[in-house]
Amino acid sequence: EVQLVESGGGLVQPGGSLRLSCAASGFTFSSYWMSWVRQAPGKGLEWVANIKQDGSEKYYVDSVKGRFTISRDNAKNSLYLQMNSLRAEDTAVYYCARDVGGYSSGWLDYWGQGTLVTVSS
Amino acid sequence: SYVLTQPPSVSVAPGKTARITCGGNNIGSKSVHWYQQKPGQAPVLVIYYDSDRPSGIPERFSGSNSGNTATLTISRVEAGDEADYYCQVWDSSSDRYVFGTGTKVTVL
């Protein structure tokens, strides 16, 4: 059974940093692209970033470029999102998702339950 | 940037058919995927590659895509289908996934 479990969310002040983790199990992690998607309270889904199987390609939504970094450790079956210079508008539930295709017509077939990030003073 | 437009809400009686549209410029040339999200839960993939169903998704869910509109159709609607639905594509011009604005389906 595919499982994705996010952790690392919490309350952080504007300008602060946070590192999210996603522990994957039930599939060959190193064979899949992976994505982060977020959802602000009461709002729709927004894709944040994704990363290729070997980490050689990464893509980001414009609003987080230069502030967020996606990475992975295939030996630990883990996905990460380093978030720096956080803003109030980054407040959201962050989901990790298995990414089928990752580039050009890809989709997200399994999702974690999400971790809440709140940016507030 | 590429924009996907969905109606904010669709209401349907039990047993009837719900159709949720997803509009985008020449979306028929892209592969469209659909997600269902119930309150407090993570999204679930219900349609990929325009019209394919993942295992475990009822045949009542179907999809189509042509021209400037993709459509998710839910036949014989049940109370359990009440949820938010999102379409999604990959936008090659900006190298990013794009989600639609979302549609809340209410079962009357």
Distance, CA of A48 to CA of B97 (rounded, Å): 8
CB spacing of A111 vs B42 below 8 angstroms: yes
Mean pLDDT calculated for residue range A47-53: 96
* Chain B hits for A114, Cβ within 8 Å: 42
Mean pLDDT calculated for residue range A42-56: 97
Contact status, residue B76 vs residue B61, Cβ threshold 8 Å:
no
Chain B interface, best mutation among A45, A59, A110, by max B CB count within 10 A: A45
The closest alpha carbon to A108, from B89, B40, B74, belongs to B89
* A1 has a chain B CB within 8 A of its CB: no
Least CB-CB distance to B96: which of A44, A59, A110?
A59
Interchain CB contacts (distance < 8 Å): A and B:
69
Give the least confident one: A44-58, A102-116, B41-55.
A102-116
* Chain B hits for A104, Cβ within 8 Å: 90, 92
Tell me: pLDDT of A103 over 80.
no
Tell me: pLDDT of A102 over 80.
no
Strand pairing of B33-37 and B44-47? antiparallel
Identify the band that residue A101 occupies on the pLDDT scale cut at 50, 70 and 90. confident
